[in-house]
Amino acid sequence: MALSYLRSSSSRSANLLRPLSSAASLRRPISTDTTPITIETSVPFTSHQCEAPSRSVETNPSELLTFFRDMALMRRMEIAADSLYKAKLIRGFCHLYDGQEAVAVGMEAAITKKDCIITAYRDHCTFVGRGGTLLEVFAELMGRQAGCSKGKGGSMHFYKKDSNFYGGHGIVGAQVPLGCGLAFAQKYSKDESVTFALYGDGAANQGQLFEALNISALWDLPAILVCENNHYGMGTAEWRAAKSPAYYKRGDYVPGLKVDGMDALAVKQACKFAKEHALKNGPIILEMDTYRYHGHSMSDPGSTYRTRDEISGVRQERDPIERVRKLILSHDLATEKELKDIEKEVRKEVDDAIAQAKESPMPEPSELFSNVYAKGLGAESFGADRKELRATLA
């Protein structure tokens, strides 16, 4: 029987009629169905200096479908960015997140927009998870006015302060002390929220991380350090860069949890656990065992330091979207066609956003001099030829 899955852009109501399944009740529309389902994570959590949470995760059809849709959107967005980069519409650095979507999506499911997230330069999907739009992403990547940073930042400098997303940082490791600072401010303001500071296995060896962790532990800051371990720091495999690649243990006196980062539900459970912990006991480290299909950046083919077999192996065994698809299908929460339709919709959304972003103009030349300061005090600034181009900063 043909099913139609109608979805308007503003609401997520669906119109579904299905014959009775083996569950002896009429199935409610899946997109709003919040009937709890309990699912076991792929692997149990491994813990350091703490008791691991249960691997039984509570979810519901609505959440699983949201996971599917959001991850499909992120995947499609990153693949499209790859094409735009090769078409030279995106310049400079472009670090893609495809493969790692479950971390962004699982984290959002466990927290609120009052909690803060800060990450490094592989930030497109994290930004979207915080509520950023596709138009803002593509326009920023192409350096246009409609970009989230009005074209002034580029791929590595996405921010969304109103959703407590603090970027978007190009210097490896710098975002970790900054994230601990966000947690400091949250504790100072007593607002019962936490900060997730994301970093990679490469950044995990940075000294400033340990300096910030030491202070966070001393001052009981609600800081959650999340190591997105995709096993390669640029072109260097983790075993060549870290004497101890057990990143969840590197906090020593700070508890840690190792999580299957390709399992959105495991990520959600871990983040929920971490938030509770951080609010009571201070910092905790989460190591997300994840994988990136692309190279480090668009300048890196990603195949000189790892085999194509490894990449395709992960794609086959552990892909986060495929895992959720299988879950949805095996629990009879949607049909294959419905899921394919979602993927088609998402593809169209991405294409539309790209078309719209291409229409957005480049910044006005006067924008060269804007936002140097929040308060310019009438100071002067200069172009390359200061007698030709100068401006007064407002």
Partner 1 sequence: MLGVVRKKMLGQSLLKIRPAVSMLRSYSSAAKQMTVRDALNSALDEEMSADQKVFLMGEEVGEYQGAYKISKGLLEKYGPERVLDTPITEAGFAGIAVGAAYHGLKPVVEFMTFNFSMQAIDHIINSAAKSNYMSAGQMSVPIVFRGPNGAAAGVGAQHSQCYAAWYASCPGLKVLTPYSSEDARGLLKAAIRDPDPVVFLENELLYGESFSVSDEVLDSSFCLPIGKAKIERVGRDVTITAFSKMVGHALKAAEILEKDGIDAEVINLRSIRPLDRSTINASVRKTNRLITVEEGFPQHGVGAEICASVVEESFAYLDAPVERIAGADVPMPYAANLERLAVPQVEDIVRAVKRACYRSVPLAAAA
* Residue with Cβ nearer partner 1 (87 or 377): 377
* Binding segment (CB under 8 A) for partner 1, from list 6-14, 123-131, 245-253, 366-374: 366-374
Phi first, then psi: what are they for 293, rounded to 5°?
-75, -35
* Binding segment (CB under 8 A) for partner 1, from list 107-115, 129-137, 168-176, 297-305: 168-176
Torsion, CA 245, CA 98, CA 109, CA 171, rounded to 10:
60
Of 19, 25, 188, 304, the residue at the interface with partner 1 (CB under 8 A) is 188
Name the residue with tokens 């296995």. 201
Distance between CA atoms of residues 117 and 123, nearest Å: 11
Joined together, the tokens standing for residue 360 give: 């957005």
Of 3, 153, 276, 329, the residue at the interface with partner 1 (CB under 8 A) is 153
Of 1, 87, 377, 384, the residue at the interface with partner 1 (CB under 8 A) is 377
Asked if 128 interacts with partner 1 (CB under 8 A), we say no
Asked if 133 interacts with partner 1 (CB under 8 A), we say no
Asked if 184 interacts with partner 1 (CB under 8 A), we say yes
Asked if 159 interacts with partner 1 (CB under 8 A), we say yes
Binding mask 235-254 for partner 1 (x = CB under 8 A): --------------------
Q: Say how many C-beta atoms besides its own lie within 10 A of residue 121's C-beta.
A: 23
* Binding segment (CB under 8 A) for partner 1, from list 209-217, 301-309, 328-336, 350-358: 209-217
| CA proximity to 192, closest of 90, 72, 112, 76 | 112
* Residue with Cβ nearer partner 1 (51 or 211): 211
Of 122, 150, 268, 323, the residue at the interface with partner 1 (CB under 8 A) is 150
Binding to partner 1 in span 74-113, by CB under 8 A: none
* Binding segment (CB under 8 A) for partner 1, from list 17-25, 74-82, 243-251, 378-386: 378-386
Asked if 20 interacts with partner 1 (CB under 8 A), we say no
* Residue with Cβ nearer partner 1 (181 or 295): 181
Amino acid making up residue 209: L
Of 99, 106, 143, 179, the residue at the interface with partner 1 (CB under 8 A) is 179
CA distances from 120 to 98, 168, 327 (A): 15, 5, 31
Asked if 61 interacts with partner 1 (CB under 8 A), we say no
* Residue with Cβ nearer partner 1 (280 or 387): 387
* Binding segment (CB under 8 A) for partner 1, from list 27-35, 176-184, 285-293, 336-344: 176-184
Q: Which residues bind partner 1 (CB under 8 A)?
A: 116, 118, 149-153, 157, 159-161, 166-171, 174, 176-186, 188-189, 207-208, 210-212, 214-216, 218-219, 370-375, 377-381, 386-387
